[in-house]
Amino acid sequence: MPNHVTHRVRLHGSEEDCKRFYEQFFRDGGFDFETVLPQPECVKRTQSGSQASVWFFALTGTFLPSECRNGMPTQHQWGWVPRHLKTAVDVEKWLTEKDPKGRVFGEYAIQCLRETGFESWYQWCKHYWGTKSNAYQTEVVSPSEFVFQTAWSPPIPVLAEMAKRMPGIILDVCSYDKRDNFACVGQFNGRNDYRKVPCSEALSEQVYGEKRPEPEE
């Protein structure tokens, strides 16, 4: 379960611009990152997990980029791959019997890496959205204010892109991690100074609109 980061956004602009903002970036009453930076279809088909990783190795003889950041892995990093399998050809033969339906996820990873430079939806989202998934728990407070949540981190690329598209609006954003790991405040457009700041009771209440909930165990 992720740490939920809550964001309160206040829009400073004309009534007409604020209305256009909601029309452009909201779907079915919720803030939707797909309206700002849409995922390519090849990204949506991918899987983030060992099934795709093993099949990628079997089909290419190489490892996914994310697996090579801390040194060269081996085909035995996945505990469920028998240790006697030494080559990609060996692994492919074994998988063809063990997990034939998983082959498509290896193929999707290859396609996604070729077309976007990222192997799965997870890496793509972290890069283009700044967080692993779309916004959730949206609440429209007023025509010029809304609240939403993200998993683990703030969606800085999304907020920056919205500000770029709506130069007549200043986005005043306050963000707070539910476990007091970090808080951020600042503007997109206007001062353009969104940044990390110390966590505090006052900032928490500003974001949540009430005394903050106790962190979950």
- Which residue segments constitute the domains of the chain, with CATH numbers given? 4-37+130-208 (3.30.70.1270), 42-128 (no CATH)
> pLDDT value at position 110?
97
- The predicted pLDDT at position 215 comes to 58
pTM attached to this predicted model: 0.89
Give the contacts of 37 (CB within 8 A, at least 6 positions apart).
Answer: 128, 129, 157, 158, 161
Question: Closest Cα to residue 182, out of 135, 131, 146, 145?
Answer: 131
Q: Give the per-residue pLDDT at 81.
A: 84
Across the 217 residues of the chain, what is the mean pLDDT of every consecutive 10-residue run? Answer: 92 97 95 98 94 93 79 67 88 94 96 96 97 97 97 97 96 96 96 96 91 60
Tell me the β-bridge partners of 140.
146
Classify residue 122 as left (phi > 0), alpha (psi -120 to 50) or beta: alpha
* CB neighbour list of residue 216: distance below 8 Å, 6 or more residues apart: 178, 179
Predicted confidence at residue 76, as pLDDT, reads: 63
The whole-angstrom separation of Cα 205 and Cα 208 is 5
* Backbone φ/ψ region at 152: left (φ over 0), alpha (ψ -120 to 50), beta: left
Question: What is the model's pLDDT at position 65?
Answer: 83
- The pLDDT, as a whole number, for residue 46 is 96
Q: What's the pLDDT at 70? A: 59
